[in-house]
């Protein structure tokens, strides 16, 4: 109602509501006082023998109707319902929601606060925090990433150590807080690719992760790859964090079938992870980060913080030195 500048519509709507209710009452009262010719028919006949009698309404029915009329007037006086009148109790759904949220904040706020200051890596091993994180995950995240967080087509698996945007606690937190956008332009950087060239590229992309492909096509695709996609996926197709996924691993966000790859190159891909920071607040995001990190795929050491191994004594490469990405 507040969209209207003049008060006319307010009065118009409230007037119709009141007149209808009072009209019902008057009509009911007239029905009760009218001297009906009890026992006589109105002359209406259906199905040959079904006749309508002119009996007054039963009293129990009339009184119930009176009670609903009184109730509706009481309701309209107390709650919003008459035009823009807010009602005597000043109730609103937003107000009720705010009140419930405030109560919940008072109840759970201290618990979130307790966890908020703790390091994600430590929190990920705390059972109480993990349980709370899981509840939050099932409420806010499972519809896209699945209740087991393993994702599905177009929604990344969060339990493996293959990250589109990085798997350190900080990177995961940033993904959740600010959301993420991914965009593969149709036909990459060469909008004039022909259908045949796209097929060649798809064969090359499949060959990168060792999948069966036509070797002649793959060879032709290789030559096309750098000018059409190399700037984003890297010259060897190994991907660039937060820009374009690794095409050489076994993880596929949209599937490895040739038709899916051709589809992706032809029409491009747009994907979005919504931002949760403002809606959930720091406390819940912190717990969710610990939960996701604790699913097993989180990078155990920040790559920059890993101590440089002495040159001669490094037979084993550090695991998860660099996060892989998804395609
Ligand atoms: C509406 C669907 C949707 C919901 C709900 C959603 N996500 Fe996502 N999420 C995505 C998509 C899609 C991506 C991939 C984004 C991209 O490629 O740009 C993603 C990416 C991510 C990533 C980055 C993964 C990587 O490989 O780097 C994390 C972490 C993540 N989501 C966690 C969460 C958490 C925690 C929640 C619950 C608060 C959540 N998501 C809710 C759709 C969703």
Two tokens at 143? 């519809």
* Per-residue pLDDT reduced to its tens digit, 200-227: 999 999 999 999 999 999 999 999 999 9
Q: Report the 10 Å Cβ neighbour count for 42.
A: 11
d(CA 159, CA 141): 13
Which contacts of 71-79 are long-range, i.e. CB under 8 A and separated by 24 or more positions? 72/21, 73/21, 76/17, 76/18, 76/21
* Contact yes or no for 180/276 (Cβ under 8 A): no
316 pLDDT exceeds 70? no
For ligand 1, whether the C-beta of 144 sits within 6 Å is yes
321 pLDDT exceeds 80? no
Q: Which residues contact 8 (CB under 8 A, 6 or more apart)?
A: none
Of 26-35, 66-75, 283-292, give the lowest mean pLDDT range: 26-35
**CA-closest residue to ligand 1 atom 10:** 273
For ligand 1, whether the C-beta of 41 sits within 6 Å is no
270 pLDDT exceeds 60? yes
Q: Which atom of ligand 1 is nearest to the CA of 280?
A: 38
Q: Report the 10 Å Cβ neighbour count for 223.
A: 13
d(CA 37, CA 18): 32
* pLDDT in the model for residue 158: 96
């Amino acid at each position: 109602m507040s969209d209207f500048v003049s008060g006319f519509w307010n009065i118009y709507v409230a007037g119709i509501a009141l007149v209808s209710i009072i009209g019902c009452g008057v009509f009911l009262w007239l029905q009760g006082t009218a001297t009906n010719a009890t026992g006589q028919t109105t002359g209406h006949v259906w199905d040959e023998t079904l006749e309508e009698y002119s009996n007054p309404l039963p009293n129990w029915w009339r009184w119930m109707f009176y009670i609903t009329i009184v109730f509706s007037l009481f309701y309209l006086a107390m709650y919003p319902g008459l035009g823009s009148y807010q009602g005597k109790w000043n109730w609103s759904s937003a107000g009720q929601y705010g009140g419930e949220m405030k109560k919940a904040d008072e109840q759970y706020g201290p618990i979130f606060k307790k966890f908020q200051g703790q390091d994600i890596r430590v929190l990920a091993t705390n059972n109480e925090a993990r349980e709370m994180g899981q509840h939050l995950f099932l409420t806010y995240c499972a519809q896209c990433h699945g209740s087991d967080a393993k994702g599905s087509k177009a929604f990344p698996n969060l339990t493996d150590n293959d990250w589109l945007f990085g798997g350190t606690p900080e990177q995961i937190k940033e993904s959740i807080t600010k959301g993420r956008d991914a965009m593969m332009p149709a036909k990459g950087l060469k909008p004039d690719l022909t259908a045949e060239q796209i097929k060649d590229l798809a064969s090359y992309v499949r060959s990168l992760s060792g999948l069966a492909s036509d070797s002649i096509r793959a060879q032709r695709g290789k030559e096309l790859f750098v000018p059409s996609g190399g700037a984003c996926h890297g010259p060897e197709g190994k991907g660039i964090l937060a820009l374009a996924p690794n095409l050489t691993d076994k993880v596929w966000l949209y599937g490895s079938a040739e038709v899916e790859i051709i589809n992706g190159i032809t029409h491009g891909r747009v994907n979005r992870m919504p931002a949760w920071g403002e809606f959930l607040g720091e406390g819940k995001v912190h717990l969710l980060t610990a939960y996701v990190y604790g699913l097993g795929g989180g990078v155990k050491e920040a790559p920059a913080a890993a101590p440089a191994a002495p040159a001669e004594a490094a037979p084993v490469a550090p695991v998860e030195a660099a996060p892989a990405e998804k395609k």
